């Protein structure tokens, strides 16, 4: 039995001419936008192909009537006899008619070749246009996914900056009304942390609870703000794995600990600032 030495397939698949790796796509936004621009141009070409097809149909339509010069052995003899009796002027007119027929046939053939070239592989311009439109739809969907992923990456980068700042404040004392740099209360710490990432938050805890997108606790990501108690009167910066950095209360210091730090704290909500 002959062994097969095929190259392994890549992790992705080609869908309607758009490369979509199994992990959701590793193409840049610029690459996909360039692909979409190219597909728009191809859509325009397909539209032109339809116009060319109509022109070809008009060229073909007069050919329905049989020509008086249809070639049969008997007709060749009759035409030879007729031509021998024609005057020179009449012969020129017949020659001109034959030349016009040849030119029309050439135009028809040229138009058919043009239609085949409109999409490289599609002879029917309507099919070519539909194919391009499907590719455009796929490219737009990919572009949307890439844009969403890029926004997520940007938000994650900002969150890392906020966490880095908050972690650098660990050990500093809680002071009510303080917003740094030497001491903090809970909302003063979260405000300063996100300010370090370029995001402005309100000063008051309850106002911070309305300053972003609320997400379920199960979906909390690093950098999110975790609010506690029925009145959202306490807040900390979530760092992942059920942990947060916060300024707990008077007499305590900024520290990193579980979101269930005192065993009785009730999570009010989780808010994503960016």
State how far the Cα of 155 lies from the Cα of 148, in Å rounded to an integer: 11
The question of whether 234 is a catalytic residue gets the answer yes
Dist CA 27 CA 41 (whole Å): 21
Q: Which residues pair with 243 in a beta bridge?
A: 240, 258
Catalytic annotation present for 186: yes
**Per annotation, catalytic residue among 229, 246, 260, 268:** 246
The rounded distance, in Å, linking the Cα atoms of 117 and 232 is 66
Are β-strands 267-272 and 225-228 bridged in parallel, bridged antiparallel, or unpaired? Answer: antiparallel
Q: Which among 229, 234, 260, 268 is annotated as catalytic? A: 234
Residue of 74, 76, 186, 260 marked catalytic: 186
Q: How far apart are CA 169 and CA 90, in angstroms?
A: 106
Contact yes or no for 134/15 (Cβ under 8 A): no
- Is 246 one of the catalytic residues? yes
Angle at 136 between CA 133 and CA 139, to 5 degrees: 155
Active centre residues (catalytic): 186, 234, 246
């Amino acid at each position: 039995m002959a062994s097969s030495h095929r190259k392994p397939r890549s992790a992705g698949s080609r869908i309607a001419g758009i490369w979509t790796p199994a992990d959701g796509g590793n193409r840049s936004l610029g690459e996909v936008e360039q692909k979409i621009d190219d597909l728009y141009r191809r859509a325009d070409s397909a539209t032109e192909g339809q116009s060319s097809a109509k022109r070809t149909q008009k060229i073909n339509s007069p050919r329905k009537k049989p020509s008086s010069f249809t070639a049969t052995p008997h007709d060749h003899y009759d035409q030879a006899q007729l031509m021998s009796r024609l005057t020179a002027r009449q012969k020129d007119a017949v020659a001109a008619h034959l030349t016009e027929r040849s030119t029309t046939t050439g135009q028809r053939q040229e138009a058919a070749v043009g239609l085949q070239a409109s999409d490289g592989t599609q002879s029917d311009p309507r099919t070519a246009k539909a194919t391009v439109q499907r590719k455009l739809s796929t490219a737009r969907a990919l572009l949307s996914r890439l844009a969403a992923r890029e926004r997520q990456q940007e938000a994650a980068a900002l969150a890392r900056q906020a966490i880095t700042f908050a972690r650098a404040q660990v050990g500093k004392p809680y002071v009510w009304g303080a917003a740094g740099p030497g001491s903090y209360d809970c909302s003063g710490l979260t405000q300063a942390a996100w300010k370090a990432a370029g995001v402005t938050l309100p000063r008051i805890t309850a106002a911070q609870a309305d300053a972003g997108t609320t997400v379920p606790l199960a979906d909390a990501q690093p950098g999110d703000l975790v609010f506690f108690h029925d009145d959202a009167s306490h807040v900390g910066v979530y760092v992942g794995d059920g942990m947060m950095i916060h300024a707990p209360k008077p007499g305590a210091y900024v520290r990193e600990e579980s979101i269930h730090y005192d065993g009785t704290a009730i999570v009010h909500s989780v808010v994503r600032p960016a």
